[in-house]
Amino acid sequence: MRILVVEDQSSLLKSIARRLQEDGYSVDTAKDGREGLDFALAVEYDCIVLDIMLPAIDGLTVLRRLRENNVTTPVLFLTAKDAVEDRVKGLDLGADDYLIKPFSFDELLARIRALLRRRSIGRETVIKIKDLILDTNAHTVTRGGRFIELTAKEYAVLEYLMRNRGRVLTRTQIADHVWNYDFEGNSNIVDVYIRYLRRKIDDGFEDKLIQTVRGSGYMMRDES
């Protein structure tokens, strides 16, 4: 899951990003509304945490422009305790939730999880390819009935491959979905994680599900 956090208070921005990363999310950060809007229009995020009072472009304007551009990503507003009018405007513009400053990080994480669950309605929650099963609600992976323990990044790569089964994904596509803008395009980190997954998912099984498409990228076999 990839999340964008737009907040002009540097210490708070770093703290939010760190807690989200500790929970396994890939995080991009922006310190003003213009930068945040550029990010949100360029990348498909799973959730956006957006402060209202921002330099350059305020959060309400950022949200309005996103919705005008048919960006339906869930938006969680961060707002001052007494900014009732702003909260009402934000919800009317299409915000999905808001959180009043100061807030607890546990509540922020819980609200983000709720938004992600709400967005997943209508999407597959259990993805199955042959005897490989990924359950997005339980956050578990099994193959042949055997539980497979994955790190957060391994899980994110596998889910992306399985949701796009039968489709060739380039290294850049995988990196853009799982990592953030700090990822360097010439890094072999995607290949490294594919190797990790193969050891856990394919080793010991006759059917090898993760396929290399030479010169292009990787693909999960489209079989169920």
Is the confidence at residue 27, as pLDDT, over 80?
Answer: yes
% of the chain exceeding 70 in pLDDT: 92
Sheet containing 97-101: order of strands: 26-30, 2-6, 47-51, 75-80, 97-101
The SS3 assignment for 161 reads helix
Is the confidence at residue 183, as pLDDT, over 60?
Answer: no
Count the neighbouring beta carbons within 10 Å of the beta carbon of residue 93. 19
| pLDDT tens-digit map of 33-42 | 999 999 999 8
β strands within the chain, DSSP E? 2-6, 26-30, 47-51, 75-80, 97-101, 126-129, 132-135, 140-143, 146-147, 169-170, 210-213, 217-220
Q: Can you tell me the distance from the alpha carbon of 175 to that of 45, in angstroms, rounded to the nearest whole number?
A: 13
pLDDT band at 67 (very low <50, low <70, confident <90, very high): very high
The answer to whether residues 78 and 90 touch, using CB atoms and an 8 Å cutoff, is no
| pLDDT tens-digit map of 117-168 | 777 655 667 889 999 999 887 889 999 999 999 988 899 899 889 988 888 9
Q: What is the pTM of this model?
A: 0.67
pLDDT at residue 224, rounded to an integer? 52
144 dihedral zone (left: phi>0; alpha: psi -120 to 50; beta): left
| In the chain, domain spans | 2-119, 126-220
Structure tokens at 12: 């708070």
Mean pLDDT of 85-109: 87
Question: For the chain, percent helix, then strand, then coil, each to nearest 5?
Answer: 40, 20, 35
| pLDDT tens-digit map of 40-64 | 998 888 899 999 999 999 999 999 9
Q: In this structure, which topology does domain 126-220 adopt according to CATH?
A: Arc Repressor Mutant, subunit A (1.10.10)
According to CATH, the superfamily of the domain at 2-119 is Response regulator (3.40.50.2300)
